[in-house]
Amino acid sequence: MINLDKGKVEQLRSALRGPLLQAGDAGYDTVRALWNAMIDRRPALIASCTGTADVLAAVNFARDQKLRLAIRGGGHNIAGNALCDDGLVIDLGGMRSVHVDPDGQVAWVDGGARLGDVDHETQAFGLATPLGINSTTGVAGLTLGGGFGWLSRMYGLSVDNLLGAEIITADGRRRYTSAQEDPDLFWAIRGGGGNFGVVTRFKFKLHPVGPLVTAGLVVFPFAQAREVLMRYRDLVDTLPNELSVWAVLRKAPPLPFLPPEVHGQEIVALAVFSTLAPEKALPMFAPVRSFGQVLGEHVGGVPYAAWQQVFDPLLTPGARNYWKSHNFETLLDDAIDVVVDYAGKLPTPQTEIFLGLIGGQANTYAPDATAYPHRKVLYVMNVHGRWDDAADDERCIAWAREFFGAAKPFAAGSVYINFITQDEASRIGEAYGGNFDRLVQVKNRYDPTNLFRFNHNIPPAL
């Protein structure tokens, strides 16, 4: 435990419009509860910010008092970097405003907004920007790590659609950064995580999307998983940017379009998505049905905002989660064999393996165009261990690590920074590749004392 100067704490409290929480206060335990229940940390203070002025006051307080500092956006990060013990947490949960300019096709998004907040506002005008696949994910953490989802093949990553950002740096300055203003900082926040400051507002480019898109699931028996994945890989080689297909291996949830006897059994599901209208997209997805015996399917026109929420019930907060991840530039037969082998011995009904498809427009940028460098990666594989009972920790974590090791020889040797767990600091170099040294230089300039270090940290070289 740390000893805080009560007078200084009261000065901070009076400087904030939002509440300053300590242990025992109403709301303290609610705010410190993260999506991943394996993370249980007790900050000394939580500043529940309502605007930029609150963030400025909190950053200055943490720096001047030499406190540990963590930033909580959506609280969805697998590593739990949103919290620190015995320090100050800047909670952006009260800053969720989204303002859309439909004529200029841009959106200003507050640092605490969730994906669902953005979709709600942008879809009122038939617009969207590439974000993730779970509506409760925080926009800030997702974007600062790169950000990919259903729209990435057509419109690039989240960072490719970021036009500017308001950021509070370690010196307590509010900066607006873009390609023209503080361009090195702008480069760094497009993939470099929360290492450089607190982003209080993002400016995104929007694209015409929906409100109706074509999407759904085609489900095959697990016994045919190897053949399905091989044919899926071959399909990807010819897939236009307007289409995306992700592969998921798990035990079947009780989906209404699946026979009851399939529920709880291992399956392989292909999640299909297109911004095209059903009459155009459905014929293009027709080959997917020939990959094996279809156990059930539900594909058609769906509101984009609704599709963004389809997987929410499988990703609710409060469960224990442990991930391992690899990037792949191609899926070799040996890699597919490993995936099928470990999908056949999932440790819990909630555990899944997914292959998120990128490519397309996202891979047209040079590796050093943004801090996110992985512009040849076609698949991001997430080994998503998930369970409820702490007694299962050792068994489930061991399965994930064993799977990770077996797949490593066939992977690209890189990793998506947002999928790194709290015990994988050694993989930060894999996440940034050739961009790491430049990121250190930017860190030296904007955060030489490493105030922002509760993240997948890029230490300054000073």
For residues 256 and 298, what is the distance between their CA atoms, to the nearest angstrom? Answer: 9
- Select from 235, 253, 252 the least CA-distant residue to 244: 235
For residue range 83-92, what is the model confidence (pLDDT) as tens digits?
Answer: 999 999 999 9
Tens of pLDDT, residues 301-344: 999 999 999 999 989 999 999 999 999 999 999 999 999 999 99
Quick one: pLDDT at residue 437? 97
Q: How far apart are CA 126 and CA 20, in angstroms?
A: 39
Say what the pLDDT of residue 397 is. Answer: 97
Separation of alpha carbons 277 and 206, rounded Å: 19
Do the Cβ atoms of 62 and 69 come closer than 8 Å?
yes
Q: What is the pLDDT of residue 2?
A: 80
Q: How far is it, in rounded angstroms, from Cα 349 to Cα 343?
A: 11
Residue-level pLDDT, tens digit, the chain, 462 residues: 688 989 999 999 999 999 999 999 999 999 999 999 999 999 999 999 999 999 999 999 999 999 999 999 999 999 999 999 999 999 999 999 999 999 999 999 999 999 999 999 999 999 999 999 999 999 999 999 999 999 999 999 999 999 999 999 999 999 999 999 999 999 999 999 999 999 999 999 999 999 999 999 999 999 999 999 999 999 999 999 999 999 999 999 999 999 999 999 999 999 999 999 999 999 999 999 999 999 999 999 999 999 999 999 989 999 999 999 999 999 999 999 999 999 999 999 999 999 999 999 999 999 999 999 999 999 999 999 999 999 999 999 999 999 999 999 999 999 999 999 999 999 999 999 999 999 999 999 999 999 999 999 999 996
Q: Which helix (H) or strand (E) holds 57?
A: helix 52-64
Look at residue 63 in the predicted model and tell me its pLDDT: 97
As a whole number of angstroms, the distance between CA 39 and CA 80 comes to: 6
C-alpha distance from residue 366 to each of 94, 114, 152, 224, 341 (Å): 36, 29, 16, 38, 35
pLDDT at 3: 84
Tell me what pLDDT residue 1 has. Answer: 67
pLDDT tens digits, one per residue of 199-228 = 999 999 999 999 999 999 999 999 999 999
> Which is it for the CA torsion 402, 405, 410, 413, positive or negative?
positive
Q: Which domains does the chain have, with CATH numbers?
A: 9-91 (3.30.43.10), 98-209+436-446 (3.30.465.10), 212-425 (3.40.462.20)
How far apart CA 385 and CA 197 sit, in angstroms, is 31
Nearest CA among 440, 373, 439, 384 for reference residue 412: 373
